[in-house]
């Protein structure tokens, strides 16, 4: 399931809902991305996430479908926020459930790695020095590249 | 043709999008970017570093040789930084 929203999410409630009444699930993996105060440009006062409504949902659904092709998943969830967020606020929740832990853990990492390089979101950081768009990280490209099928 | 701009492309152009009608010889993404550079000095400045510009045609990532047609939704944006 994909959700792109301005409001915060309750990770505990979301994870509980994913596994409720599911006797086939043996492992549930999750990742939560949080706004970090420390940046290269100094202390962050806020971060604004911009996205491309429509394309964002399409790309996220595609990434989720790719995970389901590669691993035997019982359920998966991506919640990504947009708008102005303060340090400590949650940005994204990725969760995957499977009958065994390996599929859940691997697919969870795959989802966040691919999302970072493929879903149309952009971060604008506010610091005492002003506002600056975050540049794409080569380390993120390498993390995503790891999952490329040869 | 509906053009959409995101992140610093939007800031540099001072608008989130515009409706433009390129000349008939513009048939693909690369030709569209070449033509867009001639629209105004702001467009030329925003597109100066072509490697930093990603393009989506009708919400799918598109390379320079991807065709563009009247009525398409074309988005220009920098490499993504979500997650």
Specify the number of domains making up chain B: 1
Using CB atoms, pick whichever of B6, B7, B59 lies closest to residue A58.
Answer: B59
Full set of structural domains in chain A with CATH: 2-145 (3.90.1170.40)
Q: Along the 150 residues of chain A, how does pLDDT read in single tens digits? A: 999 999 999 999 999 999 999 999 999 999 999 999 998 878 999 999 999 999 999 999 999 999 999 999 999 999 999 999 999 999 999 999 999 999 999 999 999 999 999 999 999 999 999 999 999 888 888 888 888 885
What are A39's two structure tokens?
Answer: 């940046």
- Helix, strand, coil percentages, rounded to 5, for chain A: 35, 35, 30
Residue of A nearest to B79 (CA): A136
Assess if residue B40 is contained within a domain: yes
Domain at B29, CATH number: 3.10.20.30
Q: Where are the alpha helices (DSSP H) in A6-137?
A: 11-19, 55-70, 101-118
What are A94's two structure tokens?
Answer: 């990725």
**How would you classify residue A42: left for phi > 0, otherwise alpha for psi between -120 and 50, otherwise beta?**
left
Q: What are phi and psi of A19, to 5 degrees?
A: -105, -5
Q: Which residue ranges of chain B lie beneath pLDDT 50?
A: none
Task: Write down the pLDDT at residue A150.
Answer: 58
What are B17's two structure tokens?
Answer: 């999008």
| Domain containing residue B35 | 2-77
Contact A120 B80 (CB under 8 A): yes
d(CA B1, CA B19): 6
Residue of B nearest to A133 (CA): B8
**What is the value of ipTM here, to two decimals?**
0.94
Token pair 């799918």 is at which residue? B60
Task: Write down the pLDDT at residue A139.
Answer: 85
């Amino acid at each position: 399931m994909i959700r792109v929203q301005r409001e915060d999410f309750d990770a505990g409630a979301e994870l509980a809902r994913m596994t409720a009444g599911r006797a086939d699930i043996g492992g549930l993996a999750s990742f939560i991305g949080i706004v970090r105060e420390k940046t290269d440009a100094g202390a962050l006062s806020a971060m604004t996430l911009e996205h491309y409504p429509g394309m964002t949902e399409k790309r996220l659904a595609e990434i989720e479908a790719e995970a389901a092709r590669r691993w035997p998943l019982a359920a998966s969830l991506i919640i990504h926020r947009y708008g102005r967020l303060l340090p400590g606020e949650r940005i994204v929740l990725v969760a995957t459930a499977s009958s065994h832990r390996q599929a859940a853990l691997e697919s969870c990492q795959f989802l966040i790695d691919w999302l970072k390089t493929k879903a149309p979101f952009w971060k604008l950081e506010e610091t005492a020095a002003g506002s600056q768009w975050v540049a794409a990280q080569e380390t993120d490209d390498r993390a995503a590249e790891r999952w490329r099928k040869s | 043709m509906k053009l959409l701009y995101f992140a610093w492309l939007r800031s540099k152009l001072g608008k989130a999008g515009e409706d433009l009608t390129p000349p008939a010889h513009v048939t693909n993404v690369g030709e569209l970017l070449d033509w867009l550079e001639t629209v105004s000095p702001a467009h030329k400045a925003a597109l100066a570093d072509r490697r930093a510009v990603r393009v989506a045609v009708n919400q799918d990532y598109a390379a320079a040789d991807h065709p563009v047609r009247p009525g398409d939704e074309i988005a220009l944006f920098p490499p993504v930084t979500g997650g």
